Amino acid sequence: MLRLSRKSDYALVALKALRALEPGDALSARELASRFGLPVDLTPKVLARLAQAGLVQATLGKSGGYRLARDADTITVAEVVRILDGDPALAPCREGILECHRIADCDLRNPLDNLQREMMNVLDRMTLANL
């Protein structure tokens, strides 16, 4: 637990680069990848997810690329993580795959859910702007 997936990591690197752009400029996935040593084929995928989610705006065409679609201080780490890694569940039994054999006397779930909320709050408070 508590390790950023590489995709999320790449996303943060890319977003941070896009943030440093002059208004009106854009960066292609290829450019981002080569500049930061990211996997060439994976970078467009990551950016695409961010574009779907509306964090980033993609412009097609010969001199296209990506730019931020929102202000940097409205983009939180929590959101990025949620987009790329899905909504995390602290307890394994909250993922649907594993059914819990001890539901009856399971007084561990609620505290864990609270704990998770608290941790997501930490991630929510951290925006791209103050990263």
Note the residues at the interface with a copy of itself (CB under 8 A): 1-6, 8-9, 12-13, 16, 36-37, 77, 81, 85, 88-93, 95, 98, 100-102, 107-108, 111-112, 115-116, 118-120, 122-123, 126, 130-131
Nearest to 70 by CA among 12, 10, 9, 128: 128
> Which range binds DNA by CB under 7 A, 12-20, 27-35, 73-81, 122-130?
27-35
Structure tokens at 61: 């065409």
Query: What are the two backbone dihedrals, phi and then psi, of residue 90, each rounded to the nearest 5 degrees?
Result: -65, -45
Nearer to DNA, 25 or 85 (CB): 85
**Distance separating alpha carbons of residues 26 and 131, to the nearest angstrom:** 21
Triad 70, 27, 58: Cα angle to 5°: 55
**Residues in region 83-122 near DNA by CB under 7 A:** 85, 97
Taking the complex as a whole, how short is the minimal distance between the CB of residue 116 and a copy of itself, in angstroms?
A: 7
Strand-pair partners of 57 = 67
Give the chain's largest Cα–Cα span. 61
Residues that bind DNA (CB under 7 A): 5-7, 10, 28-31, 39-42, 44-45, 47-48, 51-52, 58-66, 85, 97
